[in-house]
């Protein structure tokens, strides 16, 4: 409860905007998140943090970013997002009329660019995140999509 009230709002505010920052910046935030969890649970500073994340039922900052991005991409797929966001993404069936595996699986078309800056843009990383989700998750409605906590299951396997 302490983490959800004091730390989580600062991490999650604007996460979709600043979550694409460099790995070094995300690592700094993750280190602070781990330090806060160790303080909350009164454990030694060399204690592994994965078990603390599972015990507290919270996600590390990088997984929280992917969860937020997946929820937004679900809105874009269902066309409930604002129109300016919808204009950033293209379906494969609007690019060509062929019935490809990508089009039938509900994936989004990734626009290719030679510029590295564009390859890390929101529209490209959003498509990669959405296309990386299993097909059975992409077809769920939003309430059941948000309830499925695929991201924390990754940490439970450690």
Give the chain as a 3 state SS string. Answer: CHHHHHCHHHHHCCHHHHCCCCHHHHHHHHHHHHHHHHHHCCCCCCCCCHHHHHHHCCCCHHHHHHHHHHHHHHHHHCCCCCHHHHCCCECHHHHCCCCCHHHHCCCCECCCCCCHHHHCCHHHHHHHHHHHCCHHHHCCCHHHHHHCCHHHHHHHCC
Supply the pTM of this predicted model: 0.79
- Domain range spanning residue 49? 2-156
Number of domains, the chain: 1
* Residuewise pLDDT in 10s, the chain (158 residues): 777 778 888 888 888 888 888 889 999 999 999 999 998 899 998 888 989 988 888 889 988 998 888 889 889 888 888 888 888 888 776 665 666 655 556 677 677 777 777 777 788 888 888 888 888 888 888 888 887 765 544 444 43
């Amino acid at each position: 409860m302490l983490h959800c009230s004091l730390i989580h709002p600062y991490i999650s505010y604007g996460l979709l905007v600043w979550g694409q920052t460099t790995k070094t910046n995300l690592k700094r935030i993750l280190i602070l998140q781990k330090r806060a969890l160790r303080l909350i649970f009164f454990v030694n500073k060399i204690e592994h943090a994965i078990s603390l994340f599972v015990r507290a039922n919270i996600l590390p900052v990088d997984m929280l970013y992917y969860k937020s991005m997946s929820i937004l991409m679900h809105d874009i797929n269902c066309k409930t997002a604002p129109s300016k966001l919808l204009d950033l993404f293209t379906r494969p069936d609007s690019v060509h009329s062929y019935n490809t595996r990508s089009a039938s699986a509900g994936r989004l078309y990734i626009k290719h660019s030679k510029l590295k800056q564009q390859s890390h843009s929101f529209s490209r990383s959003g498509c990669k995140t959405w296309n990386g989700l299993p097909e059975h998750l992409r077809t769920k409605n939003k309430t059941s999509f948000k309830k499925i906590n695929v991201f924390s299951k990754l940490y439970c396997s450690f």
